[in-house]
Amino acid sequence: MEHDSAAHESSLAKEAALAEGYRQMAADIEHEMEAEEWAEALIGDVASDEG
């Protein structure tokens, strides 16, 4: 049972670290704007290929 508890705590720590990383990325406005521009361009490319 002790092993399960340690694994659960490790999993929670990894989830917390991942969430913090996402918060930091989202706070980077310049990077988020670049990512959005890239995504919009990709969507446009796909739409052009379908037509």
**CA atoms 19, 26, 41, 47: torsion sign:** positive
Q: What pLDDT, in 10s, does the model give residues 1-51?
A: 566 888 889 999 999 999 999 999 989 999 999 999 999 999 988 888 776
pLDDT at 48: 81
Quote the pLDDT of residue 20: 97
Radius of gyration of the CA atoms of the chain, in A: 19
CA distance 40 to 34: 10
Q: Is 1 helix (H, G, I), strand (E, B) or coil?
A: coil
